[in-house]
Amino acid sequence: MKLERKKDVSPKYLLIVLSVICIALTVISAFFPDAVKPIKEFTGKFMTPLQEGANDVGSWFDDKVQVFGDVKELKKENEELKKELTQYQNDLGKQEAELAELQTLRDLYDLDEMYPDYKKTAARIFSVNSSGWFNEFYINKGLNDDVYEGCNVICDEGLLGIVVESYDDYAKVRAIIDDRANVTAEIGSAGYLCNVEGSLQNMDNGYLLATDIDKNAIVTEGDKVITSSVSDRYLYGITIGYVTSVEQDPNNLTQTARITLTVNFSDIKDVLVILDRKQEVNY
Amino acid sequence: MRRIISIFILIILSFLLQSVLFSFQNVRGIAPNLLLILTMSFGIMRGRREGMLTGFFCGFLYDIFFGTLIGPYMFLFMIIGYLNGAFHKEFLMEDVMMPVIIIIVDELFFNFVIYIATFLLRNRTNLFFYLTHVMLPQMLFTALATIIIYRFYVWINKYLKKKVEENEVV
């Protein structure tokens, strides 16, 4: 009886009712983000374990497929690697001696302050935005592991992104190549300030643009681009990439440089989250 | 009831596949829009009401995980489900061509709205680039997935219908 009555509701009216719900939710989430956070949290509690499980299945499958790779190739590679290993072991002793020397020199110049050792935690990516428009992904650490909104995310090679939403057991990260991302950075040893703009279009061609460099700045090919100390969201000294070319802007006031990123965004599985956050100043 | 549970499971499965496996280990991944395929399939197989409701919940999941606000994708998916429901009268079980054409139009509409709302409004005017580099691959990928998955949905729909009829006889 109940079902019968339900069927009588015209789809048109249902459409109107649901549209109103959608619009109301949009307005609420735009103006009061905290009000809808419980909804996200609640759904996330059900979905993220499933996603992590599916990700594990994917990893397992990936491993199994790789086992079927050519054994001969592996043997050959093994031999080569062994040779390399002995060479590296020889090198290691030398490097260690040099490292000790470097450390004493650093202590001498008090450079420790400049490259502080940030507290980090490892996390794994378990889900990514598949729309092709945005570069966002989910990691399996959240508030319970002291990962808060605004934490920087890096991998071995350099800066990856920043945590934009954090929940109990997982967090959402926006990559620096996302079209909406902007990073204040500095170039070279002189530390000229610039703004690294994330861009879908440029990233497709393999570079990002560093804009608003002072026109008098001397920027050359190969200069290292790192996060700046004046950035209010990114910690100082994380590698972003290297300059490949530089150009004077038509306005004759600024320069724009093309930079190649050190991180390969097409093959990332494990990331490091820096637990220290940038000090905030309320003006 | 059986139908609601099946659709619910299908929504979750599609979402998992889309968000995890297809873009495995690739932050810049493009995956076929399985949630859209689901919305479209149930729209044309079952009519406007079910297309709309499926779209509503698909959009809800999409919003929570891929969006910043809750609502916009919900609305988009819902409208697509509703409009596709209008093709219900034309529905033939053997026909694969129609759903493929419909999904291509859907994808174009879906991506175009995203482009206008999130890219064009931020002065990213190179439409041709976005058309060829983002929309087209996604459309192709989704259309290919439709050819495979649609059959499966039709089979599920047929199975559910049979079950309901059996229940009525009992």
| Nearest residue in B to A23, CA atom | B71
Give me the pLDDT at residue B26, please: 60
Tell me how far apart the alpha carbons of residues B3 and B165 are, in angstroms, rounded to a whole number.
13
> Which of A131, A209, A269 to mutate to test binding with chain B, by most B CBs within 10 Å of its CB?
A131
**What percent of chain A is predicted at pLDDT more than 70?**
91
Query: Which pair of structure tokens corresponds to residue A93?
Result: 């002793």
Q: Could you tell me if residue A1 is inside a domain?
A: no
- The domain spanning residue B103 has which CATH number? 1.10.1760
CA distance A160 to A113: 23
Is residue B58 scored above 50 in pLDDT?
A: yes
- Complex ipTM more than 0.90, yes or no: no
Asked, for residue B7, whether it belongs to a domain, the answer is yes
Q: What are the tens digits of pLDDT across the range A227-267?
A: 988 888 898 888 899 999 999 999 989 999 999 998 888 77
Decide if B26 is inside a domain. no
A17-57, pLDDT tens digit by residue? 999 999 998 899 888 888 888 888 888 888 888 888 888 88
Q: Phi-psi region for residue B24, left (φ > 0), alpha (ψ -120 to 50) or beta?
A: beta
Q: Are residues A85 and A19 both part of a single domain?
A: no
Would you place residue B38 in the very low, low, confident or very high pLDDT band (cuts 50, 70, 90)? Answer: very high
Say whether A70 sits in a helix, a strand or coil.
Answer: coil
For residues A4 and A17, give the distance between their C-alpha atoms in angstroms, rounded to a whole number: 20
CA-based nearest distance A19→chain B, Å: 6
Taking alpha carbons only, the member of A246, A254, A162 closest to residue A209 is A246
Asked whether residue A195 falls in the same domain as residue A227, the answer is yes
Q: Percent of chain B having pLDDT more than 70?
A: 95
| Minimal-distance CA residue of chain B relative to A10 | B49
Supply the mean pLDDT for chain A: 84
Is the Cβ pair A47, B31 closer than 8 Å? Answer: no
Task: Report CB contact under 8 Å: B20, A19.
Answer: no
The CA radius of gyration of chain A, in Å to the nearest whole number, is 24
Same domain, A23 and A94: no
In-domain check, residue A204: yes
User: Do A142 and A191 fall into the same domain?
Assistant: no
Does B27 map to a domain? no
The answer to whether residue A219 is domain-embedded is yes
Mutate to test the interface with B, among A130, A140, A269, A271 (most CBs of B within 10 A): A130
CB A184 within 8 Å of CB A172: no
Least CA distance to A203: which residue of chain B?
A: B28
pLDDT tens digits, A91-130: 888 888 888 888 877 766 654 444 567 888 888 888 888 7
Positive or negative: CA dihedral B152, B153, B158, B162: positive
Q: How many domains does chain B have?
A: 1
**A133 to B134: CB separation less than 8 angstroms, yes or no:** yes
pLDDT at A69 over 80: no
Expressed as residue numbers, the domain containing A78 is: 72-113
**Residue A112: what pLDDT?**
45
User: What pLDDT, in 10s, does the model give residues A158-214?
Assistant: 899 999 989 888 999 999 999 889 999 999 888 899 999 988 888 888 899 999 999
What separation in angstroms does the CA of A222 have from each of A205, A206, A218, A238, B65? 18, 16, 12, 16, 38
